[in-house]
C-alpha cells in the first residue's frame, strides 16, 4: 500500500471518529440538560441549532486552516485542535452540572418566564459550542489535504510536491473526497446508536463523554507517533481520560439535595428517588416537581387507609363514575404511564382484588418501582412498552383506563389525539371510564387542558374536569353515556356498606371491607365535590397536528413566571437588587 493510501485510510478513520464523537456529544448534551431544563422540543431545538451553527463555523475555519496546512506541508494543526476538543469533552462531566445550575440561577433572574430557552442557550454556548467548532474543522480539513495528493517520500512526514499533477484533473479526487465524507457520516451513524442504546443507558452520560474523549485522544496520539511529532501531550491527555473513566462518577445531578436514596440514568430519563418523614418521591428532573410519591406508612407494610392528598386520589375516584360500581367489587384497570405504581397500589387498597395492567416505556423506572416503591405483581402486572402501541396490539377491555403518560413536561402527542382516544374508547367495557392526568400548572394556564378536553369530547361526548386541591394537576374524566350523577349513587353505596359493616362488626379493622370502602368513598367524594363539566372550543388534536409540547411549554413558562414573581417579592423584602438576591440565596442554602 502506498504512503498516500495509508494516510488516506488514517484520514478516513479520523473523520469516522470525529463524526462519531459529534453525535455522541450532542445526544449526551440533551441528557445533561434534561434534569434542569427538560428535554422538550424547544430545548432539543436549541441543542441542535447551536451545534449545527458551531459545526458550520468549524467547517469554514477548517477549510482556511487546511489551506495553510497545505502550504506548510503539515497536518499537525488539525490534530492539535482535536486534542483540545478531547480535553474539553472530558471536562464536561466534571463541571457541567455545576455550570448548568449557575446558568439556571442567572437565567431565572434575567430571563423571567423564558428561563428554559435562555438557560439552555447559555449552557450550550458555554459547554458544547467550542468542541463542536473544533470537530467541525475535521472533514473539510481532511478533504482539502487529501485532495492535494500527498507525496510521502519515506520520511514519515507529510509533504506536498508541486510536481504532482493537479488532483482536480487526475480523475479520482472526487472518490477521495467522497470516501472521507462517507466515513464521517458512518461515524455519525455509529455514534448515534452507540450513545443511545449502549453508553448512555449502560454507563451513563459522564462516561459517555469520557469514552469518546478517549477515542479522540488515542487518535491524536497515534498520529503523533506515526509522524514523529510531539507525542507526550496526547499521551498525558489519554492517561487522564482513562483515569477519569475509572473514577467513581455518578448521576449526581441534584448535588445540593438531601434525603436522596438513588440517582441513575436510563435510555429515556434521569431517575431520582428521595424521601422525607411522610413519603418517598420519584422524579425525572430536579427543577419541575415530583412525578410519583407513596406514603411511608405503605412502604413500612401498613395499608393506605387515608387518601394521599395528591391527584392519585382523583384517579381512583374515577371508579365512582362506573355504571356498575359496587363497593368492594374488583374491577379491571389499565394504566398507561405507570411511573412507580402509586395508582395501582391505591386501587388495591380501595378495591381489593382488582386487576391492573400497567404500561411503562422505561424499564429502569419499573426496576425503581419494584425496588423502592414496593410494587408487586399483586398490585399490577407490568408491561414494558409504549401505551398506544399496547392498546393497538391488545383487544382486552377494561372498566377503568387511567392515562398518566408524560414525555418530560408534556403529554406525548400521539397519546393526546382524536385517533388515540378513539382507540382507547374501543377498549372500555360498557359503562367504563377513562381518566387523564394533565400536569404542569395547567389549571391557571388552560391551553393544554382545553385542547385535551375538546379532543376527548369529540370521541366520548361530555367531559368533566377536576382540580385536586393542593396540586397543579387537572384530571379529565370521560364516562360515555353517564354523568356526574353516578358519583352521588356511588357515594350512597359506599356509605351503606360502611354502615352495614360497622353495625355487623362493631369496629373498623384495617384491611376490612369497611376500611377499603371508606378509602374509596373519600376518593370519590373529592371528585364529587370538585368535578364539573368542561366545554372547550379549542381545536381538536389529531395525529397530524397535535402541538402538545408547545402548549405545555407555554404553560410551563407561565408557571415559572408566577413562581418568579413570588421569589421576587422575597428578594425585594431582603432589600432588592444584587444584595437582595444574595441574601435570598443565603436563606435557601441555610435551610
The catalytic residue positions are 404
Annotate 553-571 with DSSP letters as a single string. HHHHHHHHHHHHHHHHHHH
What order do you get walking across the sheet with 532-533 strand by strand? 381-384, 355-360, 332-336, 398-403, 428-438, 474-478, 463-466, 532-533
Supply 26's cell numbers.
450532542
| Alpha carbons 112 and 104: distance in angstroms, whole number | 11
Which residues make beta-bridge pairs with 279? Answer: 295
Closest of 324, 318, 362, 410 to residue 43, by C-alpha:
410
Q: Judge whether 335 and 358 are in contact, CB under 8 Å.
A: yes
Bridge-based pairing of strands 270-275 and 260-265 is: antiparallel
3-class SS string, 299-343: HCCCCCCCCCCCHHHHHHHHHHHCCCCCCCCCCEEEEECCCCCHH
| Alpha carbons 64 and 82: distance in angstroms, whole number | 16
Alpha helices in 38-156 (DSSP H): 41-72, 76-110, 115-127, 129-136, 138-147
Helices (H) and strands (E) in the chain, counts: 20, 12
Q: Characterize 335-372 residue by residue with b for buried, 16 or more Cβ atoms within 10 angstroms of its Cβ, and e for exposed.
A: bbbbbbbbbbbbbbbbbbebbbbbbbbbebbbebbeeb
Supply 39's cell numbers.
428535554
What order do you get walking across the sheet with 270-275 strand by strand? 260-265, 270-275, 279-283, 292-295
Give the SS3 label for residue 295: strand
Q: Judge whether 289 and 556 are in contact, CB under 8 Å.
A: no
Amino acid at each position: 500500500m502506498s504512503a498516500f493510501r495509508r494516510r488516506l485510510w488514517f484520514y478516513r478513520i479520523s473523520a469516522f471518529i470525529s463524526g462519531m464523537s459529534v453525535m455522541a456529544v450532542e445526544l449526551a448534551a440533551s441528557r445533561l440538560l434534561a434534569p434542569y431544563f427538560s428535554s422538550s422540543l424547544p430545548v432539543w431545538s436549541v441543542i441542535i441549532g447551536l451545534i449545527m451553527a458551531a459545526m458550520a463555523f468549524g467547517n469554514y475555519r477548517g477549510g482556511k486552516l487546511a489551506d495553510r496546512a497545505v502550504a506548510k506541508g503539515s497536518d499537525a494543526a488539525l490534530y492539535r485542535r482535536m486534542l483540545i476538543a478531547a480535553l474539553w469533552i472530558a471536562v464536561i462531566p466534571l463541571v457541567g452540572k455545576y455550570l448548568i445550575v449557575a446558568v439556571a440561577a442567572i437565567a431565572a433572574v434575567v430571563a423571567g418566564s423564558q428561563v428554559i430557552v435562555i438557560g439552555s442557550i447559555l449552557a450550550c454556548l458555554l459547554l458544547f459550542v467550542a468542541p463542536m467548532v473544533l470537530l467541525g474543522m475535521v472533514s473539510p480539513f481532511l478533504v482539502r489535504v487529501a485532495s492535494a495528493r500527498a507525496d510521502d517520500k519515506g520520511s514519515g512526514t507529510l509533504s506536498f510536491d508541486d510536481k504532482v499533477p493537479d488532483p482536480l484533473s487526475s480523475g479520482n479526487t472526487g472518490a477521495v473526497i467522497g470516501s472521507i465524507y462517507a466515513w464521517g457520516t458512518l461515524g455519525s451513524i455509529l455514534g448515534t446508536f452507540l450513545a443511545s442504546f449502549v453508553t448512555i443507558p449502560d454507563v451513563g452520560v459522564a462516561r459517555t463523554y469520557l469514552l469518546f474523549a478517549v477515542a479522540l485522544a488515542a487518535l491524536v496520539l497515534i498520529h503523533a507517533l506515526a509522524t514523529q511529532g510531539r507525542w507526550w501531550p496526547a499521551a498525558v491527555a489519554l492517561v487522564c481520560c482513562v483515569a477519569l473513566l475509572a473514577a467513581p462518577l455518578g448521576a449526581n445531578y441534584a448535588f445540593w439535595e438531601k434525603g436522596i436514596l438513588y440517582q441513575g440514568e436510563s435510555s429515556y430519563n434521569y431517575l431520582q428517588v428521595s424521601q422525607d418523614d411522610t413519603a418517598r418521591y420519584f422524579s425525572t428532573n430536579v427543577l419541575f416537581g415530583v412525578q410519583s410519591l407513596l406514603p411511608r406508612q405503605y412502604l413500612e407494610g401498613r395499608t393506605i387507609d387515608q387518601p394521599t392528598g395528591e391527584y392519585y386520589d382523583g384517579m381512583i375516584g374515577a371508579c365512582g363514575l362506573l355504571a356498575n360500581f359496587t363497593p368492594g367489587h374488583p374491577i379491571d384497570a389499565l394504566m398507561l404511564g405507570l411511573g412507580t405504581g402509586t395508582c395501582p397500589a391505591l386501587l388495591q387498597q380501595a378495591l381489593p382484588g382488582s386487576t391492573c395492567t400497567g404500561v411503562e416505556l422505561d424499564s429502569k423506572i419499573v426496576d425503581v418501582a419494584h425496588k423502592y416503591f414496593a410494587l408487586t405483581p399483586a398490585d399490577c402486572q407490568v408491561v414494558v412498552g409504549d401505551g398506544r402501541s399496547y392498546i393497538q396490539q391488545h383487544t382486552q377491555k377494561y372498566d377503568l383506563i387511567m392515562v398518566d403518560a408524560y414525555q418530560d413536561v408534556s403529554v406525548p402527542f400521539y397519546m393526546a389525539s382524536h385517533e388515540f382516544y378513539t382507540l382507547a374508547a374501543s377498549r372500555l367495557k360498557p359503562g367504563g371510564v377513562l381518566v387523564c392526568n394533565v400536569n404542569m400548572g395547567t389549571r391557571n394556564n388552560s391551553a393544554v387542558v382545553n385542547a385535551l378536553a375538546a379532543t376527548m369530547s369529540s370521541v366520548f361526548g361530555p367531559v368533566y374536569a377536576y382540580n385536586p386541591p393542593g396540586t397543579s394537576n387537572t384530571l379529565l374524566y370521560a364516562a360515555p353515556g353517564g354523568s356526574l350523577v353516578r358519583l352521588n349513587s356511588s357515594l350512597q353505596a359506599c356509605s351503606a356498606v360502611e354502615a352495614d359493616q360497622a353495625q355487623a362488626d362493631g369496629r373498623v379493622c384495617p384491611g376490612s371491607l369497611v376500611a377499603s370502602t371508606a378509602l374509596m368513598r373519600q376518593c370519590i367524594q373529592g371528585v364529587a365535590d370538585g368535578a364539573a363539566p368542561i366545554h372547550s372550543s379549542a381545536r381538536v388534536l389529531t395525529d397530524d397536528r397535535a402541538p402538545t409540547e408547545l402548549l405545555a411549554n407555554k404553560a410551563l413558562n407561565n408557571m415559572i413566571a408566577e413562581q418568579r414573581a413570588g421569589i421576587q417579592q422575597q428578594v425585594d423584602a431582603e432589600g432588592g437588587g444584587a444584595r437582595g438576591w444574595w441574601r435570598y440565596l443565603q436563606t435557601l442554602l441555610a435551610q
